[in-house]
Homo-oligomer: A and B are copies of this chain.
């Protein structure tokens, strides 16, 4: 038997996307978005309501970054989702997060978050907040790389948002190999 919950924006997993932008004066901002995902080849989609400072910023600069929330910075990632950059001018200072400018786009990298997508704005729909960015570069801090120079999820510890319980969860153990396990049924 199934239980119906009605219309809900629930998915497992949901990401913790920390969207970084500069305002017209070059001051950095960051916000936390769970609504988003890979949109198309080399594109990411993130839902950012027009009321957010981030929306104004990315329209001004035509660029944004998406850093992935990690277990070491749960408090900081949650904070940038709780506090509005429109209301709190010292948001970034209070967050404890530090930034430097991306080599590729006019948007800030967050020093503390070890994996970032650097994006050029492709389109923004003010009716839905749907923000599409071309992923120009993905970078990762060397401290989360394995011996082969690949991102190691065990060192990285990316977090996920649980939309039913409002909790952050880490990733867990490997349970299968993609493009491989299904061959058992061919």
- Residues of A bordering B, CB below 8 Å: 1-15, 17, 34-45, 47, 66, 68, 71, 74-83, 94-96, 103, 109, 115-117, 128-130, 134-142, 145, 149-151, 153, 156-162, 164-186
A-B contact pairs, 11 of them (CB 8 A): A3-B145, A7-B134, A7-B135, A7-B137, A9-B41, A12-B171, A39-B45, A40-B128, A83-B182, A159-B175, A170-B173
Partner of A7, one of B42, B82, B83, B169: B42
- The smallest beta-carbon distance between A64 and chain B, in angstroms, is 14
Chain B residue numbers with a CB within 8 Å of A39 are: 35, 45, 47, 128, 130
Number of this chain's copies in the complex: 2
Q: Are A12 and B175 in contact (CB under 8 A)?
A: no
Closest residue on chain B to residue A129 by CB atoms: B40
Chain B residue numbers with a CB within 8 Å of A181 are: 74-75, 78-79, 168
Q: Are A162 and B153 in contact (CB under 8 A)?
A: yes
Chain B residue numbers with a CB within 8 Å of A141 are: 1-3
Chain B residue numbers with a CB within 8 Å of A178 are: 78, 81, 161-162, 166-168
